[in-house]
Amino acid sequence: MKCDSEHNIGHIERIIRVGLGLTLLAIGGLTALPMWGSMLTLILGIVALLTGLLGFCPAWRLLGVNTCHHTHAKGS
């Protein structure tokens, strides 16, 4: 995975966010929650999915968190 100044979410966290986002979208769209519950679940699902797909989280940037670690290949 490419880690640069535009990315602050690592590979494992991205996978978790995409999975969580898809799960929340399914729950919000397919269950009989109250309207506010469905809307909240759908919004959280969209945020999790987008941050996972883009590899960037504005909240992590504000807090100074970066889980995207640079990997250096060692030459033999």
Whether 9 has a pLDDT exceeding 70, the answer reads yes
Does a structural domain hold residue 19?
A: yes
Positive or negative: CA dihedral 10, 12, 16, 18: positive
Whether 22 has a pLDDT exceeding 50, the answer reads yes
C-alpha closest to that of 1 among 47, 56, 49:
56
Whether 41 has a pLDDT exceeding 90, the answer reads yes
Does a structural domain hold residue 3?
A: no
Does a structural domain hold residue 21?
A: yes
Average pLDDT, stretch 46-68?
Answer: 93
Structural domain count of the chain: 1
**Whether this model's pTM surpasses 0.75:** yes
C-alpha closest to that of 25 among 52, 55, 57, 47:
47
Average pLDDT, stretch 21-49?
Answer: 95
Does a structural domain hold residue 4?
A: no
Does a structural domain hold residue 36?
A: yes
Does a structural domain hold residue 48?
A: yes
Share of the chain above pLDDT 70, in %: 88
Contact indicator for 67, 8 with CB cutoff of 8 Å: yes
Residue range of the domain that includes 55: 11-63
